[in-house]
Amino acid sequence: MSKSSLIHSFGLSVYYEDTDAEGIVYYANYLKFVERARSEFLRDIGWPPSKIWHEFRDYWVVKNCNIDYRKPAKLEDWLTVHTSIEKLHSASMILRQEVVRGDELLTSLSIRLAYLHENGQIAKIPQAISALMVPYLFAESS
């Protein structure tokens, strides 16, 4: 990831609940890990889902996930989820999330979230929110 933009980091431990009979983290559970990281990211910029709902009656919804599984995580591993923003549109964004164990990249995801109003229609992301997201926007080297 680019050095010139902020990357949000969130750490977590792997417990029995996360593993399966192969002795590794069950493949669906990485989506739980990155959702925890997104929740903390939104809380850290000051806009947890509860506040967005309270102030705007809006909410984020996941529309697409693309997940690459490279190496498995195991019981008692300490993992870090790195989150940055690949694309920030007026009513959606694409997040890049990586699950790492130390230097090793285990899983990488590209996740598209739409910003919806309580009527279920696509809504414009308020400037108060998007302004706080811009620093996490992936700055590609030119």
Q: Quick one: which of 4, 13, 87, 89 contacts its own copies (CB under 8 A)?
A: 13
Interhelix angle for 29-44 vs 49-56, to 10°? 60
Residue 74 gets which letter from DSSP? B
Question: Do 141 and 5 meet the contact criterion of CB atoms below 8 Å apart?
Answer: no
- Map the footprint of its own copies across residues 17-46, applying CB under 8 A: 17, 19-24, 26-29, 31-32, 35-36, 39-40
CB 112 within 8 A of CB 96: no
- Give the nearest distance from C-beta 118 to its own copies in angstroms: 12
6 alpha carbon, distance to own chain's centre: 14
Binding status of residue 55 toward its own copies by CB under 8 A? no
Is 68 catalytic? The answer is no
Q: Work out whether 86 is an interface residue with its own copies (CB under 8 A).
A: no
Contact between 105 and its own copies (CB under 8 A)?
A: no
- b/e burial code for range 95-108 (CB count within 10 A of at least 16 → b): bbbbbbbeeeebbb
Q: Does 122 bind its own copies (CB under 8 A)?
A: no
Residues that bind its own copies (CB under 8 A): 13, 15-17, 19-24, 26-29, 31-32, 35-36, 39-40, 48-50, 59, 61-69, 74-76
